[in-house]
Chain A
Amino acid sequence: MATVKLNNVKKVYPNGAEAVCGVNMAIENGEFIVFVGPSGCGKSTMLRMVAGLETITEGDIEIDGKVINNVSPADRDVAMVFQNYALYPHMTVRGNMAYGLKNRGLAKADIKTKVSEAAKMLKIDEYLDRQPNQLSGGQRQRVAMGRAIVREPKVFLFDEPLSNLDAKLRVQMRIEIKRLQRRMGVTSIYVTHDQTEAMTLADRLAVINDGRIEQMGAPIELYNNPQTLFVASFIGAPHINLIPAKFENKKLVCGNIKFPGFKKLPEDTELVLGIRPDFIKPDAKGQLEIQVDLVEQHGADNLVYGLLKDASNDTEICFKTSQNTLPAIDKKLKLKFEQKRAMVFNKNTGERLI
């Protein structure tokens, strides 16, 4: 268990590409932090810098208050779970789990108890003598976790560990990882591009874009109160509806639709009105009108998609409704949104205005 601190950490590759540009972050003892962002945003680089697999160009990283920039990966006392598991293919499950302990010079008896304890916890004790190629994807994933757990490290690092699993297994493992982390209370950093994984696992979530932290906070905080257009569009499934808008004569104008009741916004700037699909309802007096072109039935909910009429350009609107509401295709629907849940962003800077 440990605290991790990133002080103005930068990563510049020899070819001049800036992968991480000045990240500050303080991770508390036992916290589960998720880095989420599109591919190439620098989230994996950050994780690998904490692991010591990537050098730090500028700034420093502390674990338990000690700067570890020049400490070798083995001596940082961190364990990592890789996307492709990176199991040692020629060793048995037991050998895989014991390898790190053996290199640390633990007594054989200690290694044995630790391995069997961890194996029991992950329910892989039946496979201890098998080779990785005799295991299924989910089992391999468990072994990779087991290899991290037996070491009892200060920090767990997960690099998209579930991306190679099928959807059902992914959900199952997600829950298990969360439980395990709760039980062991080890500080963890988890990298993913899947926002559902990020939302469900994180104590705190860091949305990363272009090597910068866009926003960091509790998942629900980021969902309800995104500070930037990027965070708003990245977090939340289905995606937030984004309608291009302008502020004219004290009204928010989207094409031919005018919404009164917004506080004063800068004129002459391109704005974006953001409304989550959860806060839109069919309503005969609604100002938004769509022509339904697709209904996705997810079971409990239906997602209704359609093009917004009278918008300045093609804008798609999606809203969530219950199982029983099943509008016909091509039907015209009037919609109303909860104005107090609506957000307005500056289109160019991405800054949130309301």
Chain B
Amino acid sequence: MKNINWRLASNHLILLIGVLFMSLPVWVAFATSTHTAETILREGLQFWPGSNFIETYREVMFEEAGVMKSVLGITMLKNSLILGIGFAVGKVIISMLAAYAIVYFRFRLATPLFWIIFLTLLLPLEVRIIPSYEIVAGLGLLDTNFGLIVPLIASATGTFYFRQFFKSIPDELLEAARLDGASPWRFFVDMLIPLSKTMIAAILIIMFVVGWNQYLWPLIMTTKEENYTLVIGIKQIYQILSEGGELPQYQKAFALTIMATLPPVLVVLFFQNWFVKGLVESEK
């Protein structure tokens, strides 16, 4: 009995240390963001919340020249949301259609094509970022949401997940639907989409977070401040704050960081049930 308790205790201790390592910096960032610039400069990072919360966050999110030269925090938040949602939705649509074609249609080279798609997992965006930029710039799509999102939505991961899922759906279901007069399109809409609901949710969540955290691509795709996303904003803010002779506004930098972290956290928190379901079980 005693042995087991010791073991449990040590397990929990390790987990607790892990949790602290992960969350303490976030907490410190938050606490510091609620102090004034003077306090931070004088006393360094703060562990306990201060009294400047409302003012800091209002300035960061809603005031011109609050953080950046002109763009509001809230505009960057909007840009980030558009990128995150567009990225996730686009990836789900493209990868579902690709997986549907690969699994259900017999065409030449279907399997090699799938493996080629799969191999692109090995090539991160950064490898093709210059040619991709060339194409988007050549099409005159810099500084547009279309140019920002569309080049990113091809997804080997998503295609792979959906392919595995579709493969696990019994053939008889397709056959029954065919006998019931369902066209390929109807089969997709009436059967595959409802059956992959949890899968779609899981991939949407993962991809939203990935899209939200995109840094390099939006950085080179946007030239105007009003198109910046929060993640770019964080990087820029340090440059802005350290320039000039003014007091560095660290509390605003931390506030922006917190704002940038919040949406993905909320999404995962609210949808974690779906998320887990999608990855673990499949109702068939």
Residues on A close to B: CB < 8 A?
51-53, 72-74, 78-80, 82-84, 86-90, 99-100, 103-104, 133, 147, 151
Contact = CB atoms under 8 A, between A and B. Distances in A.
Contacts of A74: 178-182
B181 A89 contact: no
Contact of B170 (A53, A78, A86, A151): A86
Give the most central of A84, A87, A88: most B CB within 10 Å: A88
A12 B170 CA distance: 24
Given A53-B175, A53-B178, A84 B170 contact: yes
A90 B193 CA distance: 10
B277 to A, nearest CB: 14
B193 to A, nearest CB: 9
B50 interface: no
B284 interface: yes
B172 A89 contact: no
Contacts of B194: 90
Give the most central of A79, A80, A151: most B CB within 10 Å: A80
A86 B173 contact: yes
B134 interface: no
Interface string B189-212: 011001101000000000000000
Tell me what chain B mostly uses at the interface: helix, strand, loop, or mixed: helix
B176 interface: yes
Nearest to B180: A100
Given A82-B172, A88-B177, A88-B190, 8 more contacts: A51-B175, A52-B178, A80-B175, A84-B170, A86-B170, A89-B283, A99-B180, A103-B182
B194 to A, nearest CB: 4
Nearest to A95: B190
12 contacts: A51-B175, A53-B178, A82-B175, A84-B172, A86-B175, A88-B191, A90-B197, A99-B177, A99-B180, A100-B179, A133-B283, A147-B180
Nearest to A51: B179
A104 B175 contact: no
Nearest to A131: B283
B12 interface: no
A51 B176 CA distance: 10
B179 A89 contact: no
A72 B177 CA distance: 12
A78 B186 CA distance: 19
Interface pairs A-B: 8 shortest CB-CB = A100-B180, A86-B172, A103-B181, A74-B181, A86-B176, A90-B194, A82-B172, A73-B178
B181 A88 contact: no
Nearest to B193: A90
A21 B215 CA distance: 63
A332 B194 CA distance: 67
A69 B49 CA distance: 77
Given A89-B284, A133-B283, A80 B179 contact: yes
Given A84-B170, A89-B284, A103 B186 contact: yes
Contacts of A52: 178-179
Contact of A89 (B182, B190, B195): B195
Nearest to B173: A86
Contacts of A80: 175-176, 179
Interface string B153-181: 00000000000000000101101111111
Give the most central of A72, A86, A133: most B CB within 10 Å: A86
A100 B190 CA distance: 12
A86 B190 CA distance: 15
Nearest to A75: B181
Contact of B195 (A53, A90, A99, A151): A90
Contacts of B180: 74, 99-100, 103, 147, 151
A133 B283 CA distance: 9
B151 to A, nearest CB: 34
B249 to A, nearest CB: 53
A151 B179 CA distance: 10
B67 to A, nearest CB: 47
A99 B178 contact: no
Nearest to B176: A86
A84 B176 CA distance: 11
A83 B194 CA distance: 23
A73 B175 CA distance: 9
Contacts of A53: 175, 178-179
Contacts of B175: 51, 53, 73, 80, 82, 86
Contacts of B195: 89-90
A95 B284 CA distance: 16
Contacts of A84: 170, 172
A151 B182 CA distance: 14
A350 to B, nearest CB: 35
